[in-house]
Chain A
């Protein structure tokens, strides 16, 4: 093909995202432009990215392009293969939703002190940066795009910088993003050292000794894990994601974390090549711990956006469980099963992008119309915001991994990969895999518990505060944005064979191995390993549910009986319940808090105030601050105090230090 259409479209998408940023800077404080120019441009960019990605996935070949930019001896290389195509499509899908949703949401900021041009500008740059990461074909461009992505999202996190916690969260995010970026850079350095050059092609050809390969792997795992929010590197995530504007949270949680997954997959499965099963064990264990602790910490939150942020930790953990299984199987010589694990992980990647984007948009809708993030003050929103309520319910079911929605399919595939543990020779691995999956099962069930809590407390029951009682449904655009993602959640859940069929070309290109049997029984049946081992037919499941519903309701449709009389709640005959008698989010999670008490830092107290009323205070926090980060802070402070010894304040002594350093360096290189 003379003109690589998908890649051209992808480049155009990046350009349009940048154009959206530029136009935002031109809007000044004219909000109408934001609605009619900036967001539509971003939406078109997303649609182009989606088209380009789908085109690349369908085409299945590799397209490259060289831009006359960058270093003199290394122009920026662009490359669109199926893996980048998949992630382009993912970015595009969520960006479309955000662009539809954005105009309504940013209205709130039109009269505030916050700068709309900054918001629109950095959003555009952020999206362009993410696309750049995915399209990069050399480590140099990759790192530049990566840093653009990190920095622009830093400004978005710090958008409402008049609140001190936001500034603190943004700083923490910046700090950790850079530590992670450094580690990634070092990882690429190792590859470049062996592969003679920063182009990805050179790195692919590199022959690494197992020891150096492990070093490179560990650096990448740490660096990308920092961005993805794996425990214990997750602490920035629940701070940074909630404070950004909600549509940005949707982008950060839904897409940016996936770009980190992309980086890890690209680095490990594509560039490194030779797999060692020990890596898989590490990834599997870290993934399982992240999933379980992520959901447990999420259960303890009552700030809706913070809760969702912790769920991102959980879902990233699930993705890494799939990747770990894949590495274990690939490292022990079971390529087909390795492919199954990889596909499960990628499937969960797109699923999480969809439902987490959807849930953040829903949380934003609540924030927009009720100005409330604290679930303890919500309630009864379903009747006030029926559409948002419906879409949010779809998101809740999907993230809780319930059939027939999309979250279930990817978790099911992960289980199927783990269930093939019997093919492994080592008995220790044969027990490790089931244990990890048991943790995954516990995670899934706890996630369901958590979203029963979220939905039950926020949308059902009665309103717990006045602003929530006055909440109204949001604008059409915001509803369409959510509806788009919700519809995709259902579609990807009901038609998994098409998704798996499309995903199949990724391992085929990366590993030269596909999952042949998964869709061979037609579009109705998903059979990941073989039909005898396991099969799942989502269309039949949906049909069966509909049939059972129809049967039950039509059998009962008998004249007068159909009517429903309304009266006060029964509640065992006590007085009619009011809003304050409802179960709160904290109360709902109390049994779980008690059972898993050792994992949290719980600070609970009952004090009597001066007027004789009792106050109950409960504060549950992450243990990792105390375990890991505070020692680091203390060590840094101690080291800094040591360094003050050479800080005399005298300029000539500083110059002396410089001279000394120069002399030592010259001596070293001579």
Chain B
């Protein structure tokens, strides 16, 4: 695809898509949860803008609705809920150092190259002028999952999960001019409900293990409990 053959608006789509990918990368090593939420909100905002541009390029009016919906939900409502959650869990000052940061970032880059390679056949189908964005969105999805793998903090994992959803949404918008509105609405509310449910779960998790470090969830398994019990017996 030669950039010169694209209109300025289509080029804007590419730039926005690339920026979305960058935000996924930026999320990966971010130590502070509040900054992560900010970055996530920016990603949602970019996605909304991108959707609006796609709508104006293709003349799909229903996409304006999903752009608005994205803006309201992913750039404003969910970040606000996450912020409140962090405040109530008193995690504003929580910092999580990522081990082997360079390795994680390189893995991320490798995953993006891999997803580009995987979608090459899809891109050849020439569905839309902006088809190469599919590669980016697959990259965003994988980066989100990588985030969930490398992070121990439960809230960070939720943000990873949400950014996976962002990637899916980007793929739908860029490749096929969006899903039917009903489906989109459904997914949006799923995400919202998920956010609420996660909030509830966090309080429960913290109540039972005194932390949101998911590595400590192993304590809940029976084998571990027995081990702990036997250790305490041994000490006694």
B100 near A598: Cβ-Cβ < 8 Å? yes
Q: For the complex, is B40 an interface residue (Cβ under 8 Å from A)?
A: no
B185 to chain A, nearest CB (A): 36
A431 near B100: Cβ-Cβ < 8 Å? no
Q: For the complex, is B116 an interface residue (Cβ under 8 Å from A)?
A: yes
- How many residues of A are counted as interface, with CB atoms below 8 angstroms from the partner's CB atoms? 4
B2 to chain A, nearest CB (A): 14
- Expressed in whole angstroms, the Cα–Cα distance for A431 and B111 within the complex equals 12
A427 near B100: Cβ-Cβ < 8 Å? no
In the complex, the chain A residue whose C-beta lies closest to that of B103 is A598
- Expressed in whole angstroms, the Cα–Cα distance for A39 and B117 within the complex equals 60
A498 to chain B, nearest CB (A): 41
Interface string of A27-49 (1 = CB under 8 A from B): 00000000000000000000000
Q: Which residues of B are found within 8 Å of A431, using beta-carbon distances?
A: 113
A428 near B117: Cβ-Cβ < 8 Å? yes
B132 to chain A, nearest CB (A): 10
B100 near A428: Cβ-Cβ < 8 Å? no
Q: Which residues of A are found within 8 Å of B113, using beta-carbon distances?
A: 427-428, 431
Q: Which residues of A are found within 8 Å of B116, using beta-carbon distances?
A: 427-428
- Expressed in whole angstroms, the Cα–Cα distance for A428 and B113 within the complex equals 7
In the complex, the chain B residue whose C-beta lies closest to that of A596 is B102
- List the count of A-B residue pairs having beta carbons below 8 Å apart: 9
- Interface majority SS (helix, strand, loop, mixed), chain A: helix
Q: Which residues of A are found within 8 Å of B117, using beta-carbon distances?
A: 427-428
- Expressed in whole angstroms, the Cα–Cα distance for A357 and B117 within the complex equals 45
Q: Which of B97-141 contact A (CB under 8 A)?
A: 100, 113, 116-117, 120
In the complex, the chain A residue whose C-beta lies closest to that of B120 is A427
Q: Which of A335-354 contact B (CB under 8 A)?
A: none
Q: Which residues of B are found within 8 Å of A428, using beta-carbon distances?
A: 113, 116-117
- Interface majority SS (helix, strand, loop, mixed), chain B: helix
B192 to chain A, nearest CB (A): 37
Q: Which of B100, B113, B116 has the most CB of A within 10 A?
A: B113
Q: Which residues of A are found within 8 Å of B100, using beta-carbon distances?
A: 598
- Expressed in whole angstroms, the Cα–Cα distance for A609 and B44 within the complex equals 60
In the complex, the chain A residue whose C-beta lies closest to that of B106 is A435
Q: Which residues of A are found within 8 Å of B120, using beta-carbon distances?
A: 427
In the complex, the chain A residue whose C-beta lies closest to that of B116 is A427
- Expressed in whole angstroms, the Cα–Cα distance for A598 and B117 within the complex equals 30
In the complex, the chain B residue whose C-beta lies closest to that of A432 is B113
- Expressed in whole angstroms, the Cα–Cα distance for A427 and B117 within the complex equals 8
- Expressed in whole angstroms, the Cα–Cα distance for A427 and B132 within the complex equals 13
- Expressed in whole angstroms, the Cα–Cα distance for A180 and B195 within the complex equals 60
Interface string of B156-193 (1 = CB under 8 A from A): 00000000000000000000000000000000000000
- Expressed in whole angstroms, the Cα–Cα distance for A427 and B139 within the complex equals 15
B30 to chain A, nearest CB (A): 20
A606 to chain B, nearest CB (A): 24
Q: Which residues of B are found within 8 Å of A427, using beta-carbon distances?
A: 113, 116-117, 120
Interface string of A4-27 (1 = CB under 8 A from B): 000000000000000000000000
- Expressed in whole angstroms, the Cα–Cα distance for A17 and B120 within the complex equals 60
- Expressed in whole angstroms, the Cα–Cα distance for A598 and B113 within the complex equals 25
In the complex, the chain A residue whose C-beta lies closest to that of B101 is A598
- Expressed in whole angstroms, the Cα–Cα distance for A209 and B208 within the complex equals 64
- Expressed in whole angstroms, the Cα–Cα distance for A249 and B100 within the complex equals 37
B196 to chain A, nearest CB (A): 40
Interface string of B58-87 (1 = CB under 8 A from A): 000000000000000000000000000000
A13 to chain B, nearest CB (A): 48
A288 to chain B, nearest CB (A): 13
A21 to chain B, nearest CB (A): 51
In the complex, the chain B residue whose C-beta lies closest to that of A426 is B117
- Expressed in whole angstroms, the Cα–Cα distance for A431 and B120 within the complex equals 15
Q: Which residues of B are found within 8 Å of A598, using beta-carbon distances?
A: 100
- Expressed in whole angstroms, the Cα–Cα distance for A318 and B14 within the complex equals 36
In the complex, the chain A residue whose C-beta lies closest to that of B102 is A598
Q: Which of A420-436 contact B (CB under 8 A)?
A: 427-428, 431
- Expressed in whole angstroms, the Cα–Cα distance for A431 and B112 within the complex equals 11
- Expressed in whole angstroms, the Cα–Cα distance for A598 and B106 within the complex equals 15
In the complex, the chain B residue whose C-beta lies closest to that of A430 is B113
Interface string of B35-61 (1 = CB under 8 A from A): 000000000000000000000000000
- Expressed in whole angstroms, the Cα–Cα distance for A252 and B100 within the complex equals 37
Interface string of A391-433 (1 = CB under 8 A from B): 0000000000000000000000000000000000001100100
In the complex, the chain A residue whose C-beta lies closest to that of B100 is A598
- Expressed in whole angstroms, the Cα–Cα distance for A210 and B117 within the complex equals 25
- Expressed in whole angstroms, the Cα–Cα distance for A431 and B109 within the complex equals 10
- Expressed in whole angstroms, the Cα–Cα distance for A431 and B117 within the complex equals 11
- Expressed in whole angstroms, the Cα–Cα distance for A427 and B118 within the complex equals 11
In the complex, the chain A residue whose C-beta lies closest to that of B135 is A427
- Expressed in whole angstroms, the Cα–Cα distance for A427 and B123 within the complex equals 13
In the complex, the chain B residue whose C-beta lies closest to that of A435 is B109
- Expressed in whole angstroms, the Cα–Cα distance for A176 and B113 within the complex equals 37
B101 to chain A, nearest CB (A): 10
- Expressed in whole angstroms, the Cα–Cα distance for A18 and B116 within the complex equals 60
- Expressed in whole angstroms, the Cα–Cα distance for A248 and B113 within the complex equals 46
- Expressed in whole angstroms, the Cα–Cα distance for A431 and B116 within the complex equals 11
B107 to chain A, nearest CB (A): 13
B171 to chain A, nearest CB (A): 19
Please name 5 pairs of A and B residues whose Cβ atoms are closer than 8 Å in the assembled complex, sorted by A: A427-B113, A427-B117, A427-B120, A428-B117, A598-B100
Using a CB–CB cutoff of 8 Å, the interface residues on chain B facing chain A are: 100, 113, 116-117, 120
Q: Top 3 nearest A-B pairs by Cβ distance?
A: A431-B113, A428-B117, A428-B113
Contacts A427-B120, A428-B116, A598-B100 aside, 6 further interface pairs with beta carbons under 8 A come to A427-B113, A427-B116, A427-B117, A428-B113, A428-B117, A431-B113
